[in-house]
Structure 1
Amino acid sequence: MRFGLIYELQLPRPWDAESEHRMVHQALAEVEVADRLGFDYVWANEHHFLEEYSHNSAPEVFLAAAAGRTSQIHVGHAVVLSPPGYNPPAHVAERIAMLDLVSSGRAEWGTGSSASRAELEGFNIDPALKKLMWAEATEQTANMMAMSPYPGFKGQFFSMPTRNVIPKPLQKPHPPIWLACSNKETIHVAARNGVGALAFAFVDPVEAAKWAGEYYAIIKSDECVPIGHTVNANIAMATGFSVHHDEAEAIRRGGEGFQFFGFALGHHYVYGEHTPGVTNVWDRFQRGRDAMPPAVGNGIGTPDQLIDRLRQYQDSGVDQVIFVQQAGRNTHNDIIASLELFAAEVMPAMKADQAARDARKQAELAPYIEAALKRKNWMRPLTPDAIPSIAAYGRSVVATDGTPNAIAGRRGGGINIPSEDPSEKLRATGND
């Protein structure tokens, strides 16, 4: 089993002038420790306008900084908001490829569309069409990373002409694709499209076993038709995180933060009413906390308790557990202490036979993945003689009276080019 950390970059009010700066650099320091301790993934979600819940609007910047501080941990952009209204597909291809180059092939490409009104309406995205937008944009973004040149596309939600989208990622044909999943149906969508499932539904091992079983059944069936150029058969489940030899202390250190994570998620996505720049989510959480169920996180407890619960996840078919540790007002020092204790006493027990498990899984899935790739309707590359050339706009140089100069049409690049007569004033006109 592999282990990841997720950073929404939560920041409950009140804030001061240094709050976001302090939060970001503490998070980067935690990732650096996690890399040294042997954690496998760090994930960072793209969100916009979700005050207190997530201040991580540019994960590619955060993850690039994390990559520069680390050497082995995978840097997962989870998720890139895929509908073109958020991010033009070519921009996504460029930034994922650059993250892969910066991290020397450690990038993971998570995808999704969000379900919050703040984000969808903030970018004028029709909620009824967002899933179709995700599918169109994600498939074409994968084509952009894998094809030289990209042939161009005229679709329902975006179009672009032939271009060679650069840079290309180090991982060929592109980094592994994942889909953010909040329920069993999106788990099925992930499997049908041959991508990893990032499940943020916080289910127990019994329910996880059902989800994982259905996911892998679809991966092995004729329903699986890859949206990308590879199949990433993986399922990850998220849970809270706080580890201490005293269970009560583990709950004290991490329980409130995990409760706030769930409350803030519900506030922005399900039941809340939010006035931008005004609503205090933390205060609302405190007022309603007594009526909330206790924090139940399968990653909150003693090392022995975690080993028992994580083995249940492992036996259920879950490939990765993602820990929610930077949540609410969980402190930086407590997060570091939990990471260190987990690495010392839990991780060795869970990773003892990882290589053998990986080998068995790859051998079992290989024929199904090969069959799935054969079912894909591949975009056809252009033949060399069909690749259109692109004429530069340039700038035409004309005299002040509007008559063409002897050097009209010369590419001035925005610089005035003097004529033989120094008294003649020239101006450059045209499009940037």
Structure 2
Amino acid sequence: MDFILMTEGDTPVGLTHEHRYRELIEEVLLAERVGFDAFGSSEQHVALGTASVSAPEVLYPYLMALTSRIRFIHLVTLLPTRMNHALRVAERVATEDILSNGRVELGTGRGNTTLALRAFEVDPSENKAQWREGIELIRSAFLNDVFSYVGEHYKIPPRSLVPKPLQGPYPPISAAAGSPSSVETAATMGIGAIMGGLYLGFDLVENMLKLYDKTLAATHHPYPITPRKMVAIAGGMHCAQTTAQARTEAKPLFEMAKLSTDAYERLSKLSQDYAYMGAVKDIDFNDEEYMFERSQGFIVGDPDHCIQHVQRYADMGADALVLRVDSLPHHQLLRSIELFGKYVIPHFKNPRNIVRPADDVLADIRPARPAHEEALRQYHANHTKETAR
């Protein structure tokens, strides 16, 4: 399983965006040191709280120059045509791929806030079709030299992409998938799916994971596929020395969750493509037990409790977890990243290397002694016979 650190530069009242960005950089550098596989941020425009990263394509190259191992995934690049022309996205990602020595991935989406969609004059009834055409255009530009495209929203004459990406056949591509329909679409297209984010519980996500596998296997794919099942922990991951401490510190994340989903019900009424988001109106964001333990929006606790939560996703067959670590004081975020990297990630990456208590090792040694002693007796008996000959 891969572990992806997600932070959006949520900047508290009274702090500057400059200061928060400096903190964010420190958090990413720590994440690389303690074993996170990738870092990602969303692309949020004119946001009121919860996020300040509007230009990840500018932020990432700076971080790429400061790192050597950690990968970078756009979570997500918005593909409505008024926000990002798909050909420009292909050019930018190819450039990032070169600068990072093949460490970039492209997550995509169509936007989930009325603030941004209205600011860019995006029609919610058209942006899903624009997103899909954008994916097809990007893959064609990456794969074919020369490429062209004719659709409802893009009409590109024969051209050659400059520069070309480093990874072959192209950097991994995925899509935000908050509904079963979106999961099916991603699997049909042979791209990864980033599932979750609605706080509706584990059953929904587990069914999405199964649906993805089933659809992917049943579909013929004309393009090289980049399948991956990613699950978003959208409310937040917070790890502390004790679960009680982690819960107390993480309670402010409920307000972030409410704010970040505030537009969902309105969007559900603007377009049938967003109808599934209306279910968020039934979530009680003040129910602490539900939010922390059953909503599927959080991984909060001491390292052992976090391991239990992650194991649940591993058992479901998730390939990666997108862990939002944000919206809390910087020192708490650093501690959470370090604890998760030191004690949780190794449990799933290198379990044989984790030092066990001496008593546990001795408990395994003692039952193994009789078999070893019997093997010694057999060896000596056979050796005596060979000598006698």
- TM-score, length-normalised on structure 2? 0.79
- Mapped contact 1:180–1:198 kept (Cα < 8 A): yes
Alpha-carbon deviation of 1:20?
0.3
Which runs of 5 or more residues in structure 2 are unaligned? 268-283, 353-389
Shift of 1:93: 0.6
In the alignment, the residues of structure 1 paired with residue 2 and residue 285 of structure 2 have an alpha-carbon distance, to the nearest angstrom, of 35
Distance in 2 separating the partners of 1:306 and 1:54: 25
Other-structure match for 2:335: 337
User: 1:245: how far off?
Assistant: 2.3
What's 1:22 paired with?
19
Secondary structure of 1:80's match? Answer: strand
Q: Does 1:130 align with 2:127?
A: yes
Q: Shift in Å at residue 86 of structure 1?
A: 1.1
Which residue does 2:319 correspond to in 1?
319
The yes-or-no answer on 1:176 pairing with 2:190 is no
2:207 is aligned to 210
Amino acid at match of 1:263: K
Instruction: Give the Å deviation of 1:128.
Output: 1.0
8 Å contact from structure 1 (residues 120, 126) kept in 2: yes
> Residue 162 of structure 1 aligns to a residue in which SS?
strand
1:93 aligns with 2:90: yes
Please give the alpha-carbon distance, in whole angstroms, between the structure 2 residues aligned to 1:260 and 1:9: 16
1:187-236 deviation digits (Å, cap 9, x = unpaired): 221111111111242454444322211111111113x536xx32122111
Residue 209 of structure 1: SS of its match in structure 2?
helix
Deviation per residue, 1:129-155 (Å, 9 max, x gap): 1111111111011111222222x3332
Match of 1:236 among 198, 206, 230: 230
C-alpha contact 2:196 2:205 (8 A) present in aligned 1? no
What is the deviation of 1:343? 1.7
- In structure 2, what is the equivalent of residue 195 of structure 1? 191
The whole-number CA distance in structure 2 between the counterparts of 1:346 and 1:76 is 21
CA 158–23 in structure 1, closer or farther in 2 if over 3 Å, else same: same
Q: Compared with structure 1, are the counterparts of its residues 300 and 160 closer, same or farther at alpha carbon in structure 2 (3 Å cutoff)?
A: same
- Structure number having the greater helix percentage: 2
In 2: Cα distance, 1:171 partner to 1:52 partner: 35
After TM superposition, give the deviation of residue 121 of structure 1 in Å: 2.2
Q: CA separation of 1:156/1:207 partners in 2, compared to 1, >3 Å: closer, same or farther?
A: closer
In the aligned structure 2, how far is the partner of 1:97 from the partner of 1:163? 15
Unaligned stretches of 5+ in structure 1?
273-289, 355-432
Counterpart for residue 264 of structure 2: 269
Does the CA contact (< 8 Å) of 2:195 and 2:205 recur in 1?
A: no
Could you tell me whether the CA contact under 8 Å between 2:10 and 2:50 is conserved in 1? yes
> Structure 1 vs Structure 2: percent identity of aligned residues?
28
Shift of 1:292: 2.2
Q: Deviations over 1:351-400 (max 9, x none)?
A: 1379xxxxxxxxxxxxxxxxxxxxxxxxxxxxxxxxxxxxxxxxxxxxxx
Task: Give the drift of 1:112.
Answer: 0.8
What SS does structure 1 have at the residue aligned with 2:21? helix
Question: Which amino acid in 1 is paired with 2:312?
Answer: Q
Residues 258, 285 of structure 2: 8 Å contact kept: no
Q: Structure 1 residues 353, 145: closer, same or farther in 2, change over 3 A?
A: farther
Cα deviation per residue 1:279-326 (whole Å; 9 max; x = unaligned)? Answer: xxxxxxxxxxx9722241542001111111211110111111111111
- Range with greater deviation from structure 2 (27-36 or 111-120): 111-120
Query: How far apart are 1:117 and its partner, in Å?
Result: 2.0
Partner secondary structure for residue 227 of structure 2: coil
Inter-partner Cα distance in structure 2 for 1:323 and 1:255: 17
SS at match of 2:81: coil
Q: Residue 176 of structure 1 contacts residue 230 of structure 1 at CA under 8 Å; is this kept in 2? A: no
Please show how residues 68-79 of structure 1 align to structure 2 within 5 Å: 68-79=65-76
Are the equivalent residues in 2 in contact too, given 1:47–1:56 (CA < 8 A)?
A: yes
After superposing on structure 2, the runs of 4+ consecutive aligned residues of structure 1 that deviate more than 6 Å are: none
Partner of 1:166: 162
Say which SS state the counterpart of residue 135 (structure 1) adopts: helix
1:74-121: CA deviation from partner (whole Å, max 9, x where unpaired): 100121111222111211011011111111101010111113222222
Flag the structure with larger Rg. 1
Distance change >3 Å, CA 271–CA 84, structure 1 → 2 = closer
- Equivalent residue number for residue 362 of structure 1: none
Alignment of 1:298-309 (within 5 A): 298-309=298-309
Distance in structure 2 (CA, Å) of the matches to 1:125 and 1:207: 29
1:75 partner SS = strand
**Alignment check: 8 A CA contact 1:4 1:321 kept:** yes
Hey, what does 2:10 align to over in structure 1? 10
Amino acid at match of 2:347: A
Of residues 19-28 and 236-245 in structure 1, the stretch that sits farther from structure 2 once superposed is 236-245
Q: Is the 8 A contact 1:208 1:318 kept in 2?
A: no
- Structure 2 CA distance for aligned equivalents of residues 291 and 115 of structure 1: 19
Paired positions, count: 327
Q: CA deviation at 1:36?
A: 0.9
Counterpart amino acid of 1:267? D
Distance 2:149 2:30 in 1: 43
C-alpha distance in 1, partners of 2:179/2:62?
A: 32
Counterpart secondary structure, 2:84: coil
Separation (CA, whole Å) in 2 of partners of 1:88 and 1:298: 34
Q: 1:205, 1:316 within 8 Å by CA — same for their partners in 2?
A: no
Partner of residue 411, structure 1: none
Q: What amino acid sits opposite 1:326 in the alignment?
A: D
Partner secondary structure for residue 233 of structure 1: strand
